[in-house]
Amino acid sequence: MDKPKVVLGVSGGIAAYKACELLRRLTESGHDVRVVPTASALRFVGAATWSALSGHPVATEVWDDVHEVPHVRIGQQADLVVVAPATADMLAKAAHGLADDLLTNTLLTARCPVVFAPAMHTEMWEHPATQENVATLRRRGAVVLEPAVGRLTGADSGKGRLPDPAEIFEACRRVLARGVREPDLAGRHVVVSAGGTREPLDPVRFLGNRSSGKQGYALARTAAARGARVTLVAANTSHLPDPAGVDVVPVGTAVQLREAVLKAAADADAVVMAAAVADFRPAAYATGKIKKKDGQDPEPVVLVRNPDVLAEMSADRVRPGQVIVGFAAETDDVLANGRAKLARKGCDLLVVNEVGERKTFGFEDTEAVVLAADGTETPVPHGPKEALADTVWDLVAARLS
Ligand SMILES: Cc1cc2nc3c(=O)[nH]c(=O)nc-3n(C[C@H](O)[C@H](O)[C@H](O)COP(=O)(O)O)c2cc1C
């Protein structure tokens, strides 16, 4: 079988060197990658590097090998075009259909999915010109990943950093797996909660749960690959890399999670609550470490109820038509408990999975049944958490359209 053909466009940002890692990941996972840098990109990383790593010649202009009409062929033959880093200039050119070098010509001739991974200073990213260009590209069906927050060129930091190459690779893999289908969540804002809350007892101890956050991260990643703007409210997931193109809001406790989800949900089309939120928290927090006392039994821990974020969001929809999805991890009577929970919470969809010694929490694979308020049931067979995530988004997209 032919290898999928990927065009890696590289424009002239300081993060151009990180595209070498993306290139490596793409070639090593069986893709035929043609690198098309801009002239500015070659000021950062030379043509020899791109050529040696990709095994293809490298040109920036339309005037090389004219008999092969590369300005048309490269785009026409591509299964995916990814531009990483995408400069403010490249986003502007792409949005306006300019075609003054090989990469911009390729963007006009490509009919495959296109992913942009922008990287620039925060001011450039936030400028209304850039934001309008991004909106135009997204409206036309391109996947424009949100830049990450962090260290920028020089001493500055803020939003505008190129997402981790491993995460851009994951986004490309997801987009390629979906093929030329329209990014059906383009123009949508979705909120996903992930991880497990921790309810502190004292400065060193907490009540927690075994949720790894992997299912929520898979939901965030797949939604971004389907074109959504994604806010990921992440409870205690510092062990997981930020997915490319996703705004991550770190939280600790159930109360903090509620606040962050409600804030992000104000303009969201869908909210998917994959986090394991503690039902109870200690009634009191000891400001100093609780000590053992000789000859004395420990004080019992008194618990109070945490807010039920899923029920609250479902009852008071902040936007008409907002789709709310919950998760239920059950150990027995899985479906019966799931149906009862769906009715009690009032959400649109409830993903029910069985948890146990070797099931779901912390594992790469899962299986589940998605129960809908309209009575339908969608079984999702054993497989990667991303497959379950895509089924959830299929059901959400059908309800949004
Ligand atoms: C050191 C340096 C770093 C730069 N980094 C970026 C960047 O990260 N993002 C960006 O949009 N422009 C950046 N620029 C500006 C672009 O290189 C400039 O807009 C150029 O015209 C982009 O050309 P291209 O889009 O054809 O690659 C940088 C310029 C310099 C000199």
**Is 115 inside any structural domain?**
yes
Q: 154: domain CATH number?
A: 3.40.50.1950
Considering the domain architecture, whether residues 144 and 201 belong to the same structural domain is answered as no
- Return the minimum-mean-pLDDT range out of 64-73, 201-210, 214-223, 260-269: 64-73
Beta bridge partners of 115: 82, 143
Question: Among the options 209, 236, 306, 353, which is catalytic?
Answer: 209
Beta bridge partners of 202: 205
CA distances from 109 to 206, 298, 399 (A): 56, 71, 33
Considering the domain architecture, whether residues 57 and 194 belong to the same structural domain is answered as no
Does residue 139 contact residue 47 with C-beta atoms inside 8 Å?
no
Mean pLDDT in residue range 160-188: 86
Alpha carbon of 138 to ligand 1 centroid (Å): 22
Considering the domain architecture, whether residues 115 and 208 belong to the same structural domain is answered as no
**Is 159 inside any structural domain?**
yes
What's the rounded Cα separation, in Å, for the pair 223 and 230? 7
Q: Is 207 in the pocket of ligand 1 (CB under 6 A)?
A: no
- Greater confidence (389 vs 386) lies with 389
Residue with CA nearest ligand 1 atom 11: 87
Considering the domain architecture, whether residues 290 and 330 belong to the same structural domain is answered as yes
Residues 87-102 have pLDDT tens digits of 999 999 999 999 999 9
Alpha carbon of 84 to ligand 1 centroid (Å): 12
pLDDT value of residue 186: 86
pLDDT value of residue 13: 95
Q: Phi-psi category of 312—alpha, beta or left, where left has phi over 0 and alpha has psi -120 to 50?
A: alpha
Q: Is residue 380 pLDDT above 70, yes or no?
A: yes
Residue 19 main-chain phi, psi, to 5 deg: -65, -20
pLDDT value of residue 324: 97
- Per-residue confidence at 181, pLDDT binned at 50, 70, 90? low
Q: Is residue 122 pLDDT above 90, yes or no?
A: yes
| Cis amide leading into 85 (omega within 30) | yes
209 catalytically annotated? yes
Residues 132-157 have pLDDT tens digits of 999 899 888 888 988 988 888 777 88
Q: Is 131 in the pocket of ligand 1 (CB under 6 A)?
A: no
Q: Is 199 in the pocket of ligand 1 (CB under 6 A)?
A: no
Beta bridge partners of 303: 282
Dihedral (CA of 73, 76, 80, 85) sign: positive
Q: For residue 282, what are the domain limits? A: 189-400
Considering the domain architecture, whether residues 288 and 341 belong to the same structural domain is answered as yes
What's the rounded Cα separation, in Å, for the pair 341 and 337? 6
pLDDT value of residue 175: 87
**Locate tokens 């039902």: which residue?**
279
Q: 243: domain CATH number?
A: 3.40.50.10300
Where among 178, 204, 238 does a domain terminate? 178
- Per-residue confidence at 368, pLDDT binned at 50, 70, 90? very high
pLDDT value of residue 156: 80
Residues 42-90 have pLDDT tens digits of 999 999 999 999 999 999 998 888 888 888 899 999 999 999 999 999 9
Average pLDDT of the chain is 92
pLDDT value of residue 237: 96
pLDDT value of residue 67: 85
What's the rounded Cα separation, in Å, for the pair 294 and 311? 44
Nearest to 15 by CA among 145, 148, 153, 195: 153
Alpha carbon of 160 to ligand 1 centroid (Å): 13
- Return the minimum-mean-pLDDT range out of 156-160, 178-182, 315-319, 370-374: 178-182
Which ligand 1 atom is at minimum distance from the Cα of 12? Answer: 27
Mean pLDDT in residue range 292-303: 90
Residue with CA nearest ligand 1 atom 28: 13
- DSSP assignment of 249-309 equals EEE-SHHHHHHHHHHHHTT-SEEEE-SB--SEEES---SSPPPP-TT-PPPPPPEEEPP-H
Mean pLDDT in residue range 5-27: 97
pLDDT value of residue 357: 58
Q: Is residue 171 pLDDT above 80, yes or no?
A: yes
Where among 153, 178, 203 does a domain terminate? 178
Domain count, the chain: 2
Q: Are strands 365-372 and 349-354 parallel, antiparallel or unpaired?
A: antiparallel
From the CB of residue 51, how many other CB atoms can be counted at a distance below 10 Å?
14
Where among 144, 178, 212 does a domain terminate? 178
CA distances from 158 to 143, 153, 255 (A): 22, 10, 26
pLDDT value of residue 359: 56
What does pTM read for this prediction? 0.73
- DSSP assignment of 179-197 equals TT---TTTT-EEEEEEEB-
Mean pLDDT in residue range 28-39: 97
Q: What percent of the chain has pLDDT over 90?
A: 73
**Locate tokens 């965030």: which residue?**
220
pLDDT value of residue 347: 96
SS3 assignment, position 202:
strand
What's the rounded Cα separation, in Å, for the pair 400 and 398? 6
Residues 250-264 have pLDDT tens digits of 999 999 999 999 999
Task: State the DSSP code for 4.
Answer: P
